[in-house]
Amino acid sequence: MFKKIIKPLASIKLAVFVILLIAGVSAVGTFYESMVGEAYAAQKVVYKSVYMYLAIFLLCVNLIAVMIDRWPWKVRHTGFVCAHIGILITLFGAWITQEFGVDGSVAIEVGDKGSMVVLPDRQISLYAFDENMVPKVIGQKPTDFIVDLPSSDQALFQIEGKPLRVKQYFHFAERDEKIVASENKNDGPAIRFLLSNDNVSVSEWMFASKSNQQQKLELGPATVVWDYGEYKYSSGNVIHLFPKEGKVAYRVYSKKKKGLSLEGLTEAGSMVATGWMGLELRLLNFYPHSRRRVTYVEKERFSKATQSAVQFEYDGEEYWLGLNSIVRFFSKSKAYVLSYGQVQIPLGFNVYLKKFNVGRYQGTKRASSYASDVFVKDLGFSTISMNNPLKHNGFTLYQASFSENESGQPTASVLSVNKDPGRWWKYLGCLIMVFGICHLFFYKKWIGKRKKGVRAS
Amino acid sequence: MKSLLILILSLVPCFSWSLSSSGYEALRLLPVQDGGRIKPLDTYATESLLLIFGKSTYENKNPVEIFMTWVLAPEEWKEKKMFLVRHNGLREGLRLENQRLFFSLNELLNNDRLGLAINSLRGKLSKEEKLDSYFQAVQKLANQIQRFHTIANGADVRVAPPKSGGNQWVAIKGLDGELLEKFTGLVSAFASELKLGPKDSSSELSSAVATYINTAKAIRGSDYAPFSRLKAELHYNKFKPFKWSWIFYLLAVFLVLLSMAFSAKALVYLSWLSVALGFVFHTYGIGLRVFISNRPPVSNMFETVVWVPWIAILCAAVAYRNKLVLMGASVVGALCLILCHLAPTILDASFSPLEPVLKDNFWLLTHVIIIVSSYGPYFLAFLLGDVALVYFLLGEKKHKAKIKDLTTIMYRCIQVGSVLLLAGTILGGVWADYSWGRFWGWDPKETWAFIAFMGYAAVLHARLVGWVRDFGMAMSSVVCFILVIMAWYGVNFVLGQGLHSYGNGSGGLNYVATFCGIHVLFLLYVALMRALGKQK
């Protein structure tokens, strides 16, 4: 009876099917990754999908069944048993790693310290301020939006009886910040101007608000000031702009005259000659009340400018949140902060980055080697470099990459942080598997021949 | 300096010159710093000409001469149609004449659309977006123009070691003092030889080059450049061992075919000899590259394409049964090396420096060499599969013995390849674990190595239940090799994603796809003919 159940599960035909299935799913994964340009998405959508787990489950069943089927094992089964047990042990090791391992990273600025490991998993946290204005976590949810987008009629959190919902999620989105007119009388005024002559042309937004009453823009030969009208001239070429009677007032101060040279009122679309270097000032937009509006535009694939972004809705208001950012919002009585970011776990110790060294190939900017000089309490000074990790507190820190500024000075080191309890299982499994396969393929040819030779003699 | 030289050159009847051989040889060896290493001028000039013109000679002139005239009289070159624009879409996009492949610098610089294209390329690069083939072509054209400019104004041709400190060499433009004087002497010796032709065997040019090198030695010490490596590299450039190698492999293929036609034993011995000679040159070439670059033999795409046939021939020698194996291996050898010869712009043969992560690492070395080695027996099995399929077409019964022999060898090859591929992939995991703390991360390169392995594993299992017999073996060694091509070429040149991206390149997709497509059609045809034959 038992054999009857085992037989079909142990069939080699099933094995061929499972092998091709796993290969096929993996191939889809590589094409998907190439299409979207991001490994994380491919992991979520393909490699760690239900289909893959199902295929691997089938493989395990098949492997176990075929070994039971061949029971009791004989010496000639050595290769077969080893190859298959090796695969099972390797898969077991992979499972241990997946369940109990840590695979994250920590980026440390030169001269600074790092103590938190950033994991690829993401979560949404909601904080409320208590009476001492200290934020406290009142809700936290892991998110897996790329495969499991919460429907917009389902509340993520309930705040004071009203639901906070996810309206939209873009996995690849570019941030787009606009200044728009506002109805709210408390919002500050904004203008956009174009300053140009035959050689230069500069177009900028300027924005004043209750908390930031004056904005100054240094444009080389001249400074532009936008405020509510309080600016007092001291020196240089200055264009002072401020809202007045629903229009924009301008005052041009010149360096030569050491004082006011021009003043008047203008409006969107009109032009003022400043009198210096043929520069003309054209007012492009003017909003007496305005606010910044951040939106995200969905993209098809990953680039350096994209990030994942979530749009939330609470009490009729909508908020966009890019990955690893926060937004503050208010109910009638209280202030809240919502964060969307990668999960962080503590290292349990501080890593101080004292220095970051980059070696370059002669005469080029190409890095030939790089290393982090770090200090860890208990360990003292040490160097983490390629193929030379640092082990402490169960974690292993590897030199992964670094960032540099425009002049080629390294600014931060990126260390990959890892804890892998499944490692030795995987190594053991692989060893047994390779031994088994070699035994299967070459036993007859090498050992078998020798035995024949012995018999013949 | 320049005005003087232009004056000299204006006396030269343009482009009808000849240099003394000793002067030319001396000039070829001149050390130049480029791409993170010191290379002989010969290599630098050849790479520049290949980049700009796509071929290693221009109107039968060698690259060093072309290079020197670029330095001397760039004005003369601005109207020459030598910038290769191969991409059809780019020629259309720039409204260039679509019947031509080559364009002059002036034509390109006067093209308004090119500036716009380069601007949007910059935008894409700053966002690190993936470039499509159009923008890859824009990038290449921008590089071509930039290379010409840096040579023409001497701003980035680094010919002299720094007097003190730092490792960045001084460009022609920045030379001063004695070095400038000697370099000017070198250039005017070149110009006067061009003008007057070589006077006698004791060349003025060769002594001018020697004087210049001695001056540099006096400033920075005699080991300012690795001269033994430079000499080896120049020898490698001149001797072209891989060219000799494929000539002999090709000869062996013909000899085997002849031996089949005339069934002469002597011809088989001759073909053996020919393969052996080819293999000697092949080995010599690999050895030279290791010496020149001072690193393991399998570090870029070009080197893998050279390494795989070397292993395939080794496998064939071990598994030798009949002359068909010999022929199969020779075809692999000739095919790969001719490919390297014909597509120098796609399979970049230069000794460019390695990424930091690839340096000085035992596990890296081991896993790459083992994996690439596995392609050797797989490639051999693929070709023998082709040969076996031809025999199936010619008559299954008549050639039964040969087919059986071939199947046995294919089976062996697949076994050896699978063990190597699996072991290499696992060692790759060990290396990744050792360098990044991650054994397996579904990186496209490792995933495709895994997929290829699974393909062969499926074949080996299917053979146990009788799904794959002699015919199936021939079919599947061909089909599975398409997976290997994907892992080998496709991941870097088609997918272009992942941690192994330092091997990325572009081009050749049409040829590779056609190659695979023809094989698939061939398989279908043979399968159809066989099915029809059985019905009768």
Classified as helix, coil or strand, A56 is helix
Q: Kindly determine whether residue B169 and residue A363, on different chains, have CB atoms separated by under 8 Å.
A: yes
pLDDT of residue B497: 66
pLDDT band at A90 (very low <50, low <70, confident <90, very high): very high
pTM reported for the whole predicted model:
0.85
Q: Kindly determine whether residue A387 and residue B38, on different chains, have CB atoms separated by under 8 Å.
A: no
Q: In chain B, which residues have their Cβ closer than 8 Å to the Cβ of A13? A: 465, 467
Interface check B38 vs A, CB under 8 A: yes
pLDDT band at A196 (very low <50, low <70, confident <90, very high): confident
Contact in structure between B47 and B350 (CB atoms under 8 Å)? yes
Q: Kindly determine whether residue B498 and residue A33, on different chains, have CB atoms separated by under 8 Å.
A: yes
Q: Kindly determine whether residue A362 and residue B448, on different chains, have CB atoms separated by under 8 Å.
A: no
Q: In chain A, which residues have their Cβ closer than 8 Å to the Cβ of B467? A: 13, 16
Nearest-by-Cβ selection for B353 from A97, A103, A361 = A361
Contact in structure between A290 and A206 (CB atoms under 8 Å)? no
Chain B CA closest to residue A18: B458
> What are φ and ψ of residue A242, in 5° steps?
-155, 155
pLDDT of residue B522: 96
pLDDT band at A115 (very low <50, low <70, confident <90, very high): very high
Position with higher pLDDT, B192 vs A377: A377
Q: In chain A, which residues have their Cβ closer than 8 Å to the Cβ of B129? A: 303-305
Strands in A56-212 per DSSP E? 102-109, 113-129, 135-143, 155-159, 162-181, 190-196, 201-207
Residues in chain B where the model's pLDDT stays below 70: 1-20, 165, 196-202, 357, 359-361, 497-506, 536
Note which residues in 127-166 of chain B have CB less than 8 A from chain A.
127-130, 158
Percent of chain A with pLDDT over 70: 96
Chain B CA closest to residue A369: B356
The mean pLDDT of A341-355, rounded to a whole number, is: 93
ipTM of the complex: 0.85
> What are φ and ψ of residue A205, in 5° steps?
-95, 145
Q: Any idea where the domains of chain B sit in the sequence?
A: 2-226, 240-353, 357-536
Q: Kindly determine whether residue B491 and residue A367, on different chains, have CB atoms separated by under 8 Å.
A: no
Q: Kindly determine whether residue A33 and residue B497, on different chains, have CB atoms separated by under 8 Å.
A: yes
Residue partners of B229: CB distance under 8 A and separation at least 6: B291, B292, B294
Min Cα distance B439 → chain A (Å) is: 8
Position with higher pLDDT, A394 vs B462: B462
Classified as helix, coil or strand, B157 is coil
Q: Cα A84 vs. chain centroid, distance in angstroms?
A: 38
Specify the DSSP class assigned to residue B61. Answer: B
**In the structure encoding, which two tokens stand for residue B5, read together?**
């030289």
pLDDT of residue B11: 45
Burial class, B226, CB count within 10 angstroms (exposed 0-12 / middle 13-18 / buried 19+): middle
Min Cα distance B209 → chain A (Å) is: 23
CA distance B359 to B242: 26
β partners of residue A218: A223
Position with higher pLDDT, B496 vs A367: A367
Position with higher pLDDT, A205 vs A21: A21
Q: Kindly determine whether residue A304 and residue B129, on different chains, have CB atoms separated by under 8 Å.
A: yes
Classified as helix, coil or strand, B92 is helix
Nearest-by-Cβ selection for A366 from B36, B435, B438 = B36
Number of Cβ within 10 Å of residue A99's Cβ equals: 9
pLDDT of residue B206: 86
Nearest-by-Cβ selection for B447 from A16, A26, A387 = A26
Number of Cβ within 10 Å of residue B132's Cβ equals: 11
Min Cα distance B226 → chain A (Å) is: 13
Q: In chain A, which residues have their Cβ closer than 8 Å to the Cβ of B440? A: 94, 426
**In the structure encoding, which two tokens stand for residue A254, read together?**
């010149």
Strands A238-244, A222-226: parallel, antiparallel or unpaired by DSSP? parallel
Interface check B102 vs A, CB under 8 A: no
**In the structure encoding, which two tokens stand for residue A43, read together?**
């992991």
Q: In chain A, which residues have their Cβ closer than 8 Å to the Cβ of B158? A: 363
pLDDT of residue A213: 80
CA-nearest of A317, A269, A257, A273 to A291 is A317
Note which residues in 420-459 of chain B have CB less than 8 A from chain A.
422-423, 426, 429-430, 433-444, 447-448, 450-451, 454-455, 457-458
The residue with tokens 């040490």 is: A382
Q: In chain B, which residues have their Cβ closer than 8 Å to the Cβ of A7? A: none
pLDDT of residue B7: 47
**In the structure encoding, which two tokens stand for residue B119, read together?**
């601007």
Contact in structure between B248 and B278 (CB atoms under 8 Å)? yes
Min Cα distance B262 → chain A (Å) is: 35
Nearest-by-Cβ selection for B35 from A31, A364, A389 = A364
pLDDT of residue B309: 96
Q: In chain B, which residues have their Cβ closer than 8 Å to the Cβ of A43? A: 442
- Single-letter residue type at B427: L
Note which residues in 168-187 of chain B have CB less than 8 A from chain A.
168-169
Handedness of CA A315, A318, A322, A325 (dihedral sign): negative
Contact in structure between A320 and A311 (CB atoms under 8 Å)? yes
pLDDT of residue A66: 92
Min Cα distance A280 → chain B (Å) is: 27
pLDDT band at A451 (very low <50, low <70, confident <90, very high): low
Q: Kindly determine whether residue A27 and residue B451, on different chains, have CB atoms separated by under 8 Å.
A: yes
